[in-house]
Amino acid sequence: MTAGAPNIHATAIVIGKTGLLFLGPSGWGKSMLAFACISEGNRLGIASMLVADDQVLISQRNGAVVAVCPPSIAGLIELRGTGIVRVPHVAEAPMHYAILPGDASGPDRLPPDGERVTIADHVDLPAIRLLANTPLPLAVLMAKVPDIGR
């Protein structure tokens, strides 16, 4: 485990070689969106796995933002309303994008270009906004950032 790394409330996954860190309030749907992305990626033939759900240890190593899973929850993800399920996982992975809740209407429905989010002291990532009820979240993310999964 990463000594002294902040434990944040998030869900981290890897799609191919791209790390996605889902951030947002409790109940937003981080786990379900992440699970849908993992499932979509695997159906597309892109190796896709969970890093950690609900608790993510975050640090910076050699200029990369790294997510690490606490051993007690390795491979477990909560699918609200269904329960906790076991999925393929990796113990840690570099993160490339933060996925944040989107706004369906009003002046914030078009997020600013180049948006970044600070995750912990001196640790930030480019942000992508996503609606919680998006039926094909990975397709939407790949439309926004075509290098996801590569």
Residues 84/11/23/68 CA torsion (nearest 10 deg): 140
Single out the residue of 113, 94, 128 nearest to residue 24, CA to CA. 128
Above pLDDT 70, what percent of the chain? 98
Decide if 67 is inside a domain. Answer: yes
Decide if 149 is inside a domain. Answer: no
> Which range marks the domain in which residue 122 is found?
7-143
Mean pLDDT for the stretch of residues 114-123: 89
pTM metric for this prediction: 0.94
Specify the number of domains making up the chain.
Answer: 1
What's the CATH code of the domain at 131?
3.40.50.300
Mean pLDDT for the stretch of residues 96-118: 88
Decide if 107 is inside a domain. Answer: yes
H/E stretch holding 144? helix 137-144
pLDDT band of 136, cuts 50, 70, 90: very high
pLDDT band of 1, cuts 50, 70, 90: very low
